[in-house]
Structure 1
Amino acid sequence: MSAARTYYTELSVAAARRAATLQQRYDRLAIARLIGFFVFIGALILSFSTALYIGVLALVVGLPLLSLSVRWHLRIGGQAAHARVRHELAEGELLALDHRFAHFADGRAYRSADHPYAVDLDLFGPHSLYQFINRTVTAIGAERLAGELLHPAPVAVARQRRQAGQTLATRMDWCVEFRALGAPLQDDIHTSRRLLEWVERPPVIVGAFPLAMRWLAPVLAVLGLWWCFTQQPWQLGLLCFVPAFILLRRFGEAAAVEHGYTQQAGAMLARYQQLFLHIEGQPDRSLDAAGPIGKLSYAITQLDVRNNPFVFILEITGLWSIQWLARLDRWRSAHRDQLAQWLEELAEVDARVSWATLRYNHPDWTEAELTDERVLDGRGLGHPLLSPEGRVTNDLHMSTDGHIHLVTGSNMAGKSTWLRTVGINLVLTRAGGPVCALHLRTAALQVWTSMRTQDDLSENTSSFFAELKRLKAVIEAVQDPDQEVFFLLDEILKGTNSRDRHTGARALIRQLIRERGAGIIATHDLELAALEDEPHSRVENYAMEVQTNDGQLVFDYKLHRGVSQSFNATALMARMGIEIDPADISLTHD
């Protein structure tokens, strides 16, 4: 049993046992609380019937004890729920170790057809790379993780992320606790964005009169109530509430606007505070965000009270909204430049927990070496989304200075999977993550792909024209002096006839080489293999073969030097019931 499996198994058992124990205690205390409540009511009745001061004494002593018992009971319930979350996290990781990871969020919202490689490399969606890696608990962390996969980092940043991820992978207890604290979160990225917009807004409660009325309004309310109930004419007491009416009318619209920016952020920030406290507990962290974030959460929660139908009493007697808007103004003034930094830090840590978990769960993966040399040297490269039991690995050695590997092979031989294997591991390298390989040394490459072009009825675009547009984008990327492109092309110009396809593909390959582009091209067009024999050629031929054993097709998915010699399309069609004339087969192969 692997170290990761042992750890998660022990964690699952221990957390389940603790959850059961705490739940039993919680249930027993619920009964005790109910009995205690009735005892308290009986004691109050008896005390007040004996003497007033005894009843008051019983009330003064009993209410705090009753409140403490409620808080104790709720705390035990929270601990039980927390233990259950830890158990569920451990069970989820045990499933992931069995290569079952559909229970993690797949990030389909980040998928973009215009991205250089996101669609072709299955970055997002069901059974995607993002779903395989993702362990984030915040919306900002989820977006940060997606961004790290979508946007290749500079070499220095990738190395920094790698080092930080390696360090955190040695603190898996800390990572699990972070995820458990954040698991109840139901935030969304729009709430965070509105909050960042809010913090840049100017203060709302300004001027001597409204600031002074924050303190005078309660005094005037008490005076007005006293006059209304004790003096004549009682209507004069209502004059004490006029300043409050004026201010509420003046700031009513502003309060609604401010509340629109912060609404629903209070509960989110309360949970963020717990995450910040956990982050600040690390010895190598000098963050001080938990306290201010907690105060902001509380102030926003109090402003949310304005949605209560009975809040009018609080508004007219104490200017409730204005009181909390003023406190929010003070918080904004004190931390305007820090909120964005704190959320950025939280997002970074959240994403880093995902990378740390990936490293911990897959200690057989390796750390890629980014080099200034224009090389791509990999050994034992595998596709991370394939189960380890059935994963076939291959080696790759090539210059990235205008060199192309041309991979030929029959249907289902594994050419497309090989392209995705190389692409995904390059993406992982630039993101600062580990790679599914025994060794990988590479230049800082920007991946571009053209593998799954489809027609677009909304733009009246055929699949062939869509592919041409994609290839144009690849050419322009190769011509860009600011990026070193590595392209992965599958079946170039497959939407046209064989003669045009061969002519166009050959011209494209020569142009890409002239532009010093590098990459891998998978094709059924065996005639393209002749490019390797041209003078000063930078094309190398590789093949993935299929063998026939007792009429059955056997795939080894291994990469071999040379040109494919096997054909299986007719065999597959025959197995599907299509009657193939032997004469046609021999003619086709000739």
Structure 2
Amino acid sequence: MTAPKPFYTALLASQTAEAAELRRRYERLALVRLFVFLIWVVGLILAFSAGGWWGLLALGLTLPPLVWGVRQHRRIGQRAAAAEVRSQLAAGELRALDHDFGHFDGGQDLLDPAHPYALDLDIFGPHSLFQFLNRTVTAPGRELLAKQLLQPSSEMERARTQVQGQSLGAMPEWCLDFRTLGHGLHDEIGHFQRLAAWLQRPAVVTGRWERTLLLLSPVLSVLGVVTGLLFVPWFVAALAFVPAALLLRKYAEIIPREHAYTAAMGKLLLGYAALLEHASTGPGGADLRAAVPALRRLSYLSSQLDVRYNPFVLLLEISGLWSLQWLRKLDAWREAHRTALPGWLEALAETDAYVSWATLRFNQPEWTEPAFTTEPILHATGLGHPLLHPARRVTNDVEMRTDGHIQLVTGSNMAGKSTWLRTVGINLVLAQAGSPVCALHLRTRPLQVWTSMRTHDDLSAATSSFYAELKRLKVIIEAVSAPDNAVFFLLDEILKGTNSRDRHTGSRALIRQLIRDKGAGIIATHDLELADLEKEPGSHVENYAMEVKTQGDELIFDYRLHRGVSQSFNATTLMARMGIAIPPDEIRHN
């Protein structure tokens, strides 16, 4: 398989050149098209001057090739636009390979601060995991990708994501074509929700006489106009329009209410159809081919109902009951495809999310597939934080049981303890979504991740940061104590909002309770006295440390995890470097 950087570099060059060539051709043909049109108009004038039949013959012979030429010209413009989009996507991926992914959607609106781990692990927002991963082009696909990151997938869902991600990961051009088709779709989840709600609504036009009148209305309109012009007074001919007027009065409130469900959906549905047509050419997509003509039909019907926005629509309503005619056809479409449409949209969302996972696999070929087991263990080697630039990423190993065991990590400020907690957590989230992980090896059983790392006060609820942390810890304790619930917690500097004696006493009690309830996790702390828990008989606590060294006035951070208790202190050193007067004999060094 081609390496990602050469692939995107070559694609950027080829698509930029193709877009420029097609754009030049399009502009040249625009001048030719204008010249041909002027000649065509002059020729028609001369033909009609020679006689009406000659003019009609010339029109019939020249109009089809003229329309064909216009369509060909438009296709060249569309090909140029598609090449421009592909070149932009390739440039965006080259930036992402250099760990500059701020131009992708971070999903800030999807963040729930009360979620078990989304806030602490940077799942959403600027420089988040979602921003790193997200390549979706539809609102349903975006929602599904977020869901996969927010809750562990079932074994079947995880396997399917893994298989589809691997298959599409070997097809980077196919994935880019999918994203090109969806570029500029401007989809919103509200569109999808309206469509789903419309699908469950009853038929609008149901009465027999109403259906009959829909068929007769255009005929009555023609008869009314003809007889009014040729045979009877206009007020008598106007009687032919009375049935349509009565029917419009009956449906005056129903028509706009029904139209609200499909308004402005025509272009979006056409985009869905194009994406599903492409999806049908991918792995396991043959069953989606029937959806393409059906969605294109629905797009057409919806767009025809949108004619209601035209100020002259009243003429169409009176003469042919325009809105009701299309609502009846939409009723028929809904009845025919009510059960199939949700499956098509679900398949579209899945494909959209799979493209993101496939792009991750293609862009990060050095990542590894996690292995799952029923044993209560977590083993990982070379585990790194995926959101850190590879050149600055430091990896560590973790090996522990997940049935009532805790690793206690001590270390100085900025030593990397919090980053290590996030490294473990974010890779567990990826693994349980069906993704590869940023590691040489990872083996674990399915775990529900819980974190308490960032707690803030809430002025609106008169809640201090300490009380907010207590509430968070209470929820984690309840999760750990729930039956058949394998929880893995990541706690950073617990009970930091109280005095040192209370913090130490409370922390010891919390650790013992979590172990007793068979919880497992990693706790980062500055409280070195907690390390004594490892010495207790039958202890399930293991001490690890991340050290900081000093060389003169410089602090050296290696971010390496090792067994034992931290022996380094750097707070006073940092304070002294910032100009805070501390007696030299009170500054502690390694």
The TM-score with structure 2 as length reference comes to: 0.98
The answer (yes or no) to whether the contact 2:547–2:558 under 8 Å persists in 1 is: yes
- Which amino acid is the alignment partner of residue 298 of structure 2? L
Other-structure match for 1:83: 83
User: Counterparts in 2 of 1:36-115, with a 5 A limit?
Assistant: 36-115=36-115
User: Counterparts in 2 of 1:399-478, with a 5 A limit?
Assistant: 399-478=401-480
Q: 1:60, CA displacement in angstroms?
A: 2.1
Other-structure match for 1:166: 166
- Which amino acid is the alignment partner of residue 3 of structure 1? A
Q: 1:492, CA displacement in angstroms?
A: 0.4
Other-structure match for 1:31: 31
Q: 1:186, CA displacement in angstroms?
A: 0.6
Q: 1:584, CA displacement in angstroms?
A: 4.1
- Which amino acid is the alignment partner of residue 24 of structure 1? R
Q: 1:155, CA displacement in angstroms?
A: 2.5
1:83-110 Cα distance to aligned partner (Å, 9 max, x none): 1111111111111111110111000011
Other-structure match for 1:218: 218
Other-structure match for 2:317: 315
How many angstroms apart in 2 are the aligned matches of 1:53 and 1:170?
Answer: 61
1:53-107 Cα distance to aligned partner (Å, 9 max, x none): 1112122223333322222211111111011111111111111111110111000
Q: Does 2:190 match 1:193?
A: no
The answer (yes or no) to whether the contact 2:167–2:283 under 8 Å persists in 1 is: no
The answer (yes or no) to whether the contact 2:164–2:283 under 8 Å persists in 1 is: no
1:483-511 Cα distance to aligned partner (Å, 9 max, x none): 20000000000001111000000100000
- Which amino acid is the alignment partner of residue 93 of structure 1? E
Other-structure match for 2:535: 533
- Which amino acid is the alignment partner of residue 333 of structure 1? E
- Which amino acid is the alignment partner of residue 298 of structure 1? Y
Task: Tell me the SS of whatever aligns to 2:253.
Answer: helix
Q: 1:583, CA displacement in angstroms?
A: 4.7
Q: Which moved more, 1:462-471 or 1:14-23?
A: 14-23
Other-structure match for 1:291: 293
Q: 1:16, CA displacement in angstroms?
A: 1.1
- Which amino acid is the alignment partner of residue 295 of structure 1? R
1:22-57 Cα distance to aligned partner (Å, 9 max, x none): 111110111011111111111111111122211121
Task: Tell me the SS of whatever aligns to 1:521.
Answer: strand
Task: Tell me the SS of whatever aligns to 1:548.
Answer: strand
Other-structure match for 2:145: 145
Q: 1:386, CA displacement in angstroms?
A: 0.2
The answer (yes or no) to whether the contact 2:378–2:443 under 8 Å persists in 1 is: yes
Other-structure match for 1:567: 569
Other-structure match for 2:552: 550
Other-structure match for 2:208: 208
Other-structure match for 1:276: 276
Other-structure match for 1:242: 242
Q: 1:159, CA displacement in angstroms?
A: 2.1
Alignment RMSD, CA only?
A: 1.4
How many angstroms apart in 2 are the aligned matches of 1:387 and 1:445?
Answer: 27
- Which amino acid is the alignment partner of residue 214 of structure 1? L
User: Counterparts in 2 of 1:329-340, with a 5 A limit?
Assistant: 329-340=331-342
Task: Tell me the SS of whatever aligns to 1:378.
Answer: strand
How many angstroms apart in 2 are the aligned matches of 1:232 and 1:279?
Answer: 60
How many angstroms apart in 2 are the aligned matches of 1:105 and 1:187?
Answer: 13
How many angstroms apart in 2 are the aligned matches of 1:52 and 1:198?
Answer: 51
The answer (yes or no) to whether the contact 1:155–1:444 under 8 Å persists in 2 is: no
The answer (yes or no) to whether the contact 1:191–1:264 under 8 Å persists in 2 is: no
How many angstroms apart in 2 are the aligned matches of 1:106 and 1:396?
Answer: 29
1:469-526 Cα distance to aligned partner (Å, 9 max, x none): 0000110010111320000000000001111000000100000000010000000000
Task: Tell me the SS of whatever aligns to 2:251.
Answer: helix
How many angstroms apart in 2 are the aligned matches of 1:318 and 1:493?
Answer: 73
1:271-292 Cα distance to aligned partner (Å, 9 max, x none): 0000011011235322221111
Question: What's the % identity of the aligned pairs?
Answer: 59
How many angstroms apart in 2 are the aligned matches of 1:460 and 1:112?
Answer: 20
Q: 1:246, CA displacement in angstroms?
A: 1.1
How many angstroms apart in 1 are the aligned matches of 2:252 and 2:70?
Answer: 37
The answer (yes or no) to whether the contact 1:217–1:317 under 8 Å persists in 2 is: yes
1:529-564 Cα distance to aligned partner (Å, 9 max, x none): 000000100000000000111220000000010000
How many angstroms apart in 2 are the aligned matches of 1:149 and 1:232?
Answer: 73
Task: Tell me the SS of whatever aligns to 1:541.
Answer: strand
Task: Tell me the SS of whatever aligns to 1:373.
Answer: coil
- Which amino acid is the alignment partner of residue 203 of structure 2? P
User: Counterparts in 2 of 1:382-401, with a 5 A limit?
Assistant: 382-401=384-403
Q: 1:2, CA displacement in angstroms?
A: 7.2
How many angstroms apart in 2 are the aligned matches of 1:579 and 1:359?
Answer: 52
How many angstroms apart in 2 are the aligned matches of 1:509 and 1:582?
Answer: 37
Q: Which moved more, 1:166-175 or 1:523-532?
A: 166-175
- Which amino acid is the alignment partner of residue 184 of structure 2? P
Other-structure match for 2:267: 267
Q: 1:11, CA displacement in angstroms?
A: 1.1
Other-structure match for 2:181: 181
How many angstroms apart in 2 are the aligned matches of 1:545 and 1:264?
Answer: 60
Gap change, CA 1:264 and 1:483, over 3 Å in 2: farther
Q: Which moved more, 1:414-423 or 1:289-298?
A: 289-298
Task: Tell me the SS of whatever aligns to 1:385.
Answer: coil
Q: 1:585, CA displacement in angstroms?
A: 4.2
Task: Tell me the SS of whatever aligns to 1:252.
Answer: coil
Query: When the two structures are aligned, how many residues end up with a matched partner?
Result: 588
| Gap runs ≥5 in structure 2 | none
482, 485, 492: which one pairs with 1:483? Answer: 485
Q: Does 2:498 match 1:512?
A: no
- Which amino acid is the alignment partner of residue 467 of structure 2? F
1:413-463 Cα distance to aligned partner (Å, 9 max, x none): 000000000000000011111100000000101100000000001111000
Q: Which moved more, 1:58-67 or 1:564-573?
A: 58-67
